[in-house]
Structure 1
């Protein structure tokens, strides 16, 4: 819908309130409910939003060392612009009109810290190079018979999973909770987040959902919205959903793998496919993959943005630990799927479910375009067998601090993402490390309290 059609829709349906939101640096949706008049009045000029949303962490604690905003600037308003193409209604909230926004113009020029703005800029680079970026993200998450209040009361311990035991691809478990599962699939579809597939994963109360592929910006919008939508739908069933990368050391982690391909502008040809080549990979596909392999150490925190992310990236836990690739191999960092021309794509397997979809997809596309622009050759041999045993091209950094320091110093990161974004983002990740460093964990108490 265009502006005139949306205005007419609001008037014809006597809409009294509208919700809009945007993703902060952690991928958390922040937003407001506003009056229709305010909505219409702000379509051109934007809506004032306190820039503290880029000046605090996921717990609303203000950073002490970023330049963008802070006590030194007085936390002024910044103009958030709604993207009318994101219009949908929220079916589990009486079809409340909903929009996504960001802090930039149509080309993504604006606030350097805004994740959606960054993705818009990189997507435009891709289109300007003559390619259509087709992306999708899939998520795994755990579900519990808990409430926000019970989580606090139990201190996040001894939580009751939705279902017991390890039961991947179970028909029984989805039938046991059919009301919840049907609501997830049906309501997400009504919310314009169509799922390609939905099933249980291995673990108590864990599900996986793969979103249908689309243009990269729409794909990231869908992915960001899915995480919040799943939580809201779960609330209505007395369930808590978590997208933590690794909530329990004894259970598999939660992936957020990204599938991607480049097409010609009219979307009639998958430019990653060449049936005459080895592995059916076109030269463009090889350059794109070479770029991702080359850039991975420089942008890792965008795939693994939290302290907890690195608890998932361990051997034997269905997550990669080495800078590797292969065709149809789930132990490598990059998996090539080449069953047919329409479905040939690259799967970037490093991201967990805790990623900010805008940043993870921006990192993937920017890295791939770097390989194409510089005509990188795919010199890293395909891994045969276990990717965990192949460290010939390097290992993935084991923690957020080391990964962030690498990114902060990286000329490549600044080249492909912009110096302003890299400066802000790495400072927020170092802040996260400082917050963890001063905490006393359960592990420390159990290990040292009595014995030392």
Structure 2
């Protein structure tokens, strides 16, 4: 919907309140409900929003190393702008109008920490190079017969899954919870997040959904909203959904794979497909893959942003550990799918379900464009068979501390995203690591308490 149509919809409707939200650095939706008059008054000058949302973590604890904002600045308001083209209505909340927002500014001096603003800038660079970026993200997540209160009372232990056992691609299991299953599919369509597919994955109570592909910013919008929408729909069925990368050491992790392709600006030709070249791979596609492999060790925290992310990235767990690519092989970091021009794409398999979609997709696109700009040759051979064993090009970082350190000191990361963003983002990841390092885990107690 264009901007004027959105304004007309609000002014001509009976809705007295409007909801808006944006993602913070962790991908958590933050926002509020405002009166229709407040909405109309802010159309020109924007709205003020406390910039503490860029100065605290996902648990609302202020960073002790922040530069962008903090006690030193007094946490003032920052101007947030609603993107009027993102109007949708929330079907499970009486169709209240909803807008996505970001901290971009008309003069181009965007807030460095804003993930959506960062992706918009990368998408603009893509268009300037003459490409239309088409993207989609898919997610796996676990569902439990719990509430936020019961999770706390149980200490996040002995949780009851939606359904028992390992039963991937089951037709039987969703029939047990057909109302939830169909509400997910139907309400997400009504919320302008159409799904290409929805099914069970292997694991108790785990689902996987693939979102329909779209222009890269709109694709990230849908992915960011998808995670919160699923949680809200689950609440209405007395369930809790989690997008943790690895909630249980004995069960598979949850991915957030990114599907990506570049087209001409008219979106009439997939520029990754070339039937005259080996494996139907155009030179542009090879440069794109080369760029992603080259940049990946420098920007891993954007695909694996939490302590828990690296518990998923282990051998034999359906997630990659090596800097590899392949033709339709699920053991590598990048998987090429190109049996037909219309569906030719590169699947980025490092990204987990715990990512901020704006940052993960921005990282994927920016690193691919890096390969094109620098005309990097794809010198790494495609992996055949077990990609975990193919370490010819190196391996991924194994923890957030190492990954963050590499990104913080990387000129490549700075070239891709700018020094201000890299500084802020890596400070937040350093904070995350330090919060983890000072904790005493159950594993430590069980291993050392009596014996040592």
Counterpart in 1 of 2:419?
419
Counterpart in 2 of 1:213?
213
CA distance in 2, matches of 1:4, 1:169: 44
Q: CA-atom RMSD, angstroms?
A: 0.9
Counterpart in 1 of 2:273?
273
**Is the CA contact 1:108–1:117 (under 8 Å) kept in the aligned structure 2?**
no
3-state SS of the aligned residue for 1:354?
Answer: coil
Counterpart in 2 of 1:116?
116
- Residue 285 to residue 108, structure 1, CA distance change in 2 (3 Å): farther
**Is the CA contact 2:110–2:117 (under 8 Å) kept in the aligned structure 1?**
yes
3-state SS of the aligned residue for 2:343?
Answer: coil
TM-score (norm 1): 0.99
CA distance in 1, matches of 2:242, 2:360: 19
- Give 1:11 deviation, angstroms: 3.1
Counterpart in 2 of 1:102?
102
- Give 1:339 deviation, angstroms: 1.4
- Residue 171 to residue 377, structure 1, CA distance change in 2 (3 Å): same
CA distance in 1, matches of 2:176, 2:2: 43
Number of residue equivalences: 452
Corresponding position: 1:40 with 2:40: yes
- Give 1:108 deviation, angstroms: 5.9
1:152-171 → structure 2 map (5 Å cutoff): 152-171=152-171
**Is the CA contact 1:108–1:119 (under 8 Å) kept in the aligned structure 2?**
no
CA distance in 2, matches of 1:6, 1:172: 42
- Give 1:276 deviation, angstroms: 1.3
Counterpart in 1 of 2:58?
58
1:277-320 deviation line (CA, Å, top 9, x unaligned): 11111000000000000000000000000000000001111000
1:49-85 deviation line (CA, Å, top 9, x unaligned): 0000000000000001111000000000000000011
**Is the CA contact 2:6–2:85 (under 8 Å) kept in the aligned structure 1?**
no
1:119-130 → structure 2 map (5 Å cutoff): 119-130=119-130
Q: Which runs of 5+ in 2 are unaligned?
A: none
Q: Which runs of 5+ in 1 are unaligned?
A: none
CA distance in 1, matches of 2:384, 2:290: 18
**Is the CA contact 1:107–1:121 (under 8 Å) kept in the aligned structure 2?**
no
- Residue 11 to residue 168, structure 1, CA distance change in 2 (3 Å): same
1:197-276 → structure 2 map (5 Å cutoff): 197-276=197-276
1:19-418 → structure 2 map (5 Å cutoff): 19-105=19-105, 109-418=109-418
- Give 1:44 deviation, angstroms: 1.7
Counterpart in 2 of 1:428?
428
Corresponding position: 1:442 with 2:442: yes
**Is the CA contact 1:273–1:344 (under 8 Å) kept in the aligned structure 2?**
yes
**Is the CA contact 2:144–2:160 (under 8 Å) kept in the aligned structure 1?**
yes
CA distance in 2, matches of 1:178, 1:447: 43
- Give 1:8 deviation, angstroms: 2.8
CA distance in 2, matches of 1:17, 1:27: 24
**Is the CA contact 1:135–1:258 (under 8 Å) kept in the aligned structure 2?**
yes
Counterpart in 2 of 1:14?
14
- Give 1:14 deviation, angstroms: 1.0
**Is the CA contact 1:302–1:360 (under 8 Å) kept in the aligned structure 2?**
yes
**Is the CA contact 2:3–2:85 (under 8 Å) kept in the aligned structure 1?**
no
TM-score (norm 2): 0.99
CA distance in 2, matches of 1:444, 1:264: 55
- Give 1:28 deviation, angstroms: 0.2
**Is the CA contact 1:254–1:312 (under 8 Å) kept in the aligned structure 2?**
yes
1:331-355 deviation line (CA, Å, top 9, x unaligned): 0000000110000000000000000
CA distance in 1, matches of 2:393, 2:305: 22
- Give 1:446 deviation, angstroms: 1.0
CA distance in 1, matches of 2:11, 2:54: 34
CA distance in 1, matches of 2:96, 2:109: 30
- Residue 435 to residue 219, structure 1, CA distance change in 2 (3 Å): same
- Give 1:3 deviation, angstroms: 4.0
- Give 1:449 deviation, angstroms: 1.3
- Give 1:9 deviation, angstroms: 1.9
